[in-house]
Amino acid sequence: MDQNATAVRNALINNLTVPAFNIPYPPMMEPVIRAVRDEDAFAFIAVARIEWEKLGAISPAVIAEEFREYDDARHVSLHLDHVPVIDEDDLQVDWEPIFRQGIEHGYQSLMIDGSRLDLEGNIEVTRRAVEIAHSAGLPCEAELGAVMGHEDGPQPPYEELFRTKMGFTDIEQARRFVTQTGCDWLSVAVGSIHGSVRGAGGGAEKVEARLDLEHVERLQEATGVPLVLHGGSGINRDCVQGGIRRGIAKVNVASEIRRAYAGELESSGDEQAACELVYERTRSLLHDYFALTGTRRAIIGEGG
């Protein structure tokens, strides 16, 4: 079995998770991998299409080349994140060539994001993406549901979003989706948010999000596959740990380390200092937030 599939499956079995650290700027690669190694953990190194289209990742090929310079298969592997069918600007994306580039450049798992399509369209595209990934012996992640916070116009207060389960992944749709597509992992919407959403008082603020743990558990039982959490910044730690115990076997980490890098670079202009902040932040996430220090062997197997 592919190492990425094994890692996520072992995480599910052992009530752990595999963090996927997104690399929007190539210099962030070395400190992230060094931090994972120093915590004796295991993580995915990931890049999403938006990060080479709108940030500084340049291309999937550049990130793969940078990864190979620091690669340590005992601690990290490469994941192609968020290849959208319809992107954040509501434009259609020719996604198949991107998938094939990912395979060509050595990515060890792939993610298709058809969540902006209707259910039937998402199933159709995801089934095709799974065929391409599986033909190369790689696992394929898909997405169903809508993590709120990036939509135009005023948003309801977070408590209303949570109470009404707005955008949450539907249990029965998820069961059907996984059965008909054969996807290996499913990214779900269960309470996390993007950006600023109004708090109970009505003011725009970054509220502390939480997860509907019962919904997470029902999704895992209905689908039988490892679940993935996106939009994880700012979620209550106890909720994240509860979600991990109920089937969230992969968590994407992007803004937490990107902000550390970009903020220091903007304030001081010192790239080395920015990279060291990324290193410290990554270690803190692994040790304090995810409690993954020393879990590498449980994730990749006793022989790892």
CATH for 21: 3.20.20.70
Q: Which amino acid is at 231?
A: G
Give 196-215 pLDDT, tens digit per residue: 434 434 444 456 677 889 99
Q: What is the pTM of this model?
A: 0.91
Q: Which of 81, 87, 170, 184 is catalytic?
A: 81
Q: Please tell me the predicted confidence (pLDDT) of residue 146.
A: 75
Stretch 13-34: mean pLDDT: 97
Higher pLDDT pick, 12 / 154: 12
Give 132-185 pLDDT, tens digit per residue: 999 999 999 999 997 654 444 556 555 556 565 667 899 999 999 999 999 999
Stretch 7-26: mean pLDDT: 97
Q: Count the domains in the chain.
A: 1
The domain of 284 spans: 3-300
Mean residue pLDDT of the chain comes to 90
Q: Is 81 a catalytic site residue?
A: yes
- What's the rounded Cα separation, in Å, for the pair 302 and 304? 5
Q: Please tell me the predicted confidence (pLDDT) of residue 124.
A: 98
Stretch 25-48: mean pLDDT: 98
228 pLDDT more than 90: yes
**Distance from the first to the final alpha carbon of the chain:** 14
- What's the rounded Cα separation, in Å, for the pair 151 and 156? 11
